[in-house]
Amino acid sequence: MKKRPSTVCPIVYALDIWGDPWSLVILRDVLIHNKRHYREFLASRERISTNILSARLQSLVEAGLLIKLEGDTNRAQTMYRPTQKALDLFPVVFAIMHWGLKYNPNTDMTIPIMQELTTNEKALELRLLENFDDVTS
């Protein structure tokens, strides 16, 4: 990922942080699917490779979207959790999902979230946010 000099445009600012093809996939897994471990991210359908995953996790930590924690029981089991800055991406992620939902004929509507997204987005957001009480408190 190229780095542009500090920008005056909010969109370019956002793109410079998560505007590559992988960061948003990771953020989706964190925000929507409540994943937190390296192995969980690796297991996603999109088959991210280990070096890219590692690099993206690092850059998201640097950008202040994720924090890296030692596992509770096992100290080797690193845990990645979102910051408020990442949680504020919910509206973005939802907007993208709405758009994808409208135009991707292959969308899997059996994914639990999908139904609720169209019928009750606000409740969905609030429910998902509960996953991060540990972070926001």
Partner DNA sequence: AAGTCGTGCTTGCATTTTGCAATTCCACAC
Partner DNA sequence: GTGTGGAATTGCAAAATGCAAGCACGACTT
Q: What is the CA radius of gyration of the chain?
A: 15
Residue number with CB closer to its own copies (17 or 57): 17
Assess contact for 30 and 44: CB atoms under 8 A: no
122 binds its own copies, rule: CB under 8 A: no
Stretch that binds DNA, among 17-25, 27-35, 95-103, 104-112 (CB under 7 A): 17-25
Residue 77 is given by DSSP the state S
Could you give phi then psi for residue 79, rounded to 5 degrees?
-125, 135
User: What is the rounded CA–CA span in Å between residue 1 and residue 3?
Assistant: 6
* 21 touching its own copies, by CB under 8 A: yes
Question: Which of 78, 121, 125, 129 contacts DNA by CB under 7 A?
Answer: 78
User: Least distance in Å: CB of 29 to DNA?
Assistant: 13
C-alpha neighbours within 13 Å on the C-beta side of residue 37: 11
Q: Does 76 bind its own copies (CB under 8 A)?
A: no
Residues at the site binding its own copies, with contacts judged by CB under 8 A: 1-2, 4, 6-16, 19-21, 24-25, 28, 45-46, 85, 88-89, 91-104, 106-108, 111, 114
